[in-house]
Amino acid sequence: MIEQFAIDVPDAQLQDLKTRLESARWPDKETVADDSQGVPLSYMADFCRYWSRSYDWRSREKRLNNWPQFRTEIDGLGIHFVHCKSKNENAVPLILTHGWPGSFIEFLKSIDGLTTPRGDEEPLAFHVVCPSLPGYGFSDHPSETGWYSKRISHVWDELMQRLGYDHYFAQGGDWGAMVTTSLAIHHAKNCRGIHLNLPTVQPDPETIDNPTDQEKKALEVAARFDQFESGYAKIQSTRPQTLGYGLNDSPTGLAAWIIEKFWRWSDCGDHVENVFSRDDLIDNIMIYWISQSATSAARLYWESGGSADWGAPIDVPTGLTQSPKEVLLTSERWARKRFPNLIYWNELEQGGHFAAMEQPTVFVNEVRKCFSAILGTLGTRKL
């Protein structure tokens, strides 16, 4: 059974949030002049002051509820999703999967462009399904182990079948890329093509001793990420429960934990608000806060340590779009090693990890070009 869903946060929960924000106990100021120790104190104090005194959740809640949202139970877990159908008779089904520390909110600025394309020609249109990962937002929090990308892909395939989409395309970045890759591995009969904006590709051991310039850069980015950016993943993949006590109790701690990634992983120059509005950042944080999902979301790292389908070759038609500020990079040569049916490859001149949220118009165009090319190889206009 599929039921309509609307966000409805009790007034008492909002008042509790305001009290916590106003009574925050701040740490010492950082001892450097940049963000190399984390999000600067002056920014966080100003951000949380705005969150408490100026941010209007009720207007944002109303805006979010304009999107058609639903819940359904699959594999014993309630799954929240947005489902927007196109009026185009040739529209094809597309499931979009977010990652951490994002949410379904990442895709909202792209959905209209995907469902209702504009132009002189007849660009490809999509019926868009955008679920919240298990343990994230308004999907249920798993109470047992075993919820990693492969199992989630089974749930996603069942969701698409339940919505009447026997065949579909899939797109994702971050954990969404892992789930989308798992769909291509385990449900290739139904998932007819995928697009990724984070490559699930490891360096090719046969060529790593003689890398191209592009591959040298990919190796440098990976080494830098491991040294300077991966602490969050090591904590979440080993001690998500311990971390969760702080994130679930402190809105300032939760905000800093999430904002740091939007700051460090986006193509924002020297300030996160060069790319994201303050209200959009808070909207995403609110999804974690009001659903108390910081701990359950972090557990996906613990669950997926040895079960991420990294090595399996994928024959499903694939497209990859790579942004210059992405946290991990690859080369077309390495990508074709894992994706022999690589139909679309593009390297953007700007952009970062949160592709759909940073550059929604570019994201829509990349998704459309990728799946139009895949449909061309399949010899059909409609799945």
Decide: 351 and 359 in contact? Cβ < 8 Å: yes
- For the chain, what is the radius of gyration of the CA atoms? 20
CB of 81 closer than 8 Å to CB of 5:
no
Q: Return the minimum-mean-pLDDT range out of 47-51, 179-183, 204-208, 282-286.
A: 204-208
Round to the nearest angstrom and report the end-to-end CA distance of the chain: 25
Say if 55 falls within a structural domain: no
> H or E segment at 238?
helix 231-238
Q: In what order do the strands lie in the sheet with 69-74?
A: 2-5, 69-74, 77-84, 126-131, 92-97, 168-172, 191-196, 318-322, 342-347
pLDDT range class, residue 269, cuts 50, 70, 90: very high
The enclosing domain of 224 has a CATH number of 3.40.50.1820
State which amino acid sits at residue 160: M
- Nearest CA to 196 out of 297, 379, 57, 330 is that of 330
* CA triple 80-83-85, angle to 5 deg: 175
Catalytic residues: 174, 301, 353
What tokens appear for 114 in the block? 């995907």
Beta strands 77-84 and 126-131 are antiparallel
> What values do phi and psi take at 348, rounded to 5?
-80, 160
Full domain range(s) for residue 79: 67-198+209-378
**51, part of any domain:** no
In a domain, 191, yes or no: yes
Residue 156 pLDDT > 90, yes or no?
yes
Tell me the pLDDT tens digit for each residue of 231-258.
999 999 999 999 999 999 999 999 999 9
Domain count across the chain: 1
Structure confidence by residue, pLDDT tens digits, 43-76: 999 999 999 999 999 999 999 999 999 999 999 9
pLDDT at position 120: 55
Is 52 part of any domain? no
The answer to whether position 168 is within a domain reads yes
Please name the residue that has the structure tokens 């570019």.
362
Provide the strand spans (E) within the chain. 2-5, 69-74, 77-84, 92-97, 126-131, 168-172, 191-196, 318-322, 342-347
Cβ-based neighbours of 252, under 8 Å, separated by 6 or more: 20, 21, 24, 26, 44, 48
Under DSSP, the state recorded for 106 is G
pLDDT, the chain, mean: 95
Backbone dihedral region for residue 144 (phi beyond 0: left; psi -120 to 50: alpha; all else: beta): beta
State the pairing for strand pair 126-131/342-347: unpaired
Residue 223 lies in a domain: yes
**In-domain check, residue 20:** no
The mean pLDDT value for 279-287 works out to: 98
Residue 329's closest CA among 312, 345, 305, 306? 345
Please report whether residue 89 resides in a domain. yes
Residue 274 per-residue DSSP state: G
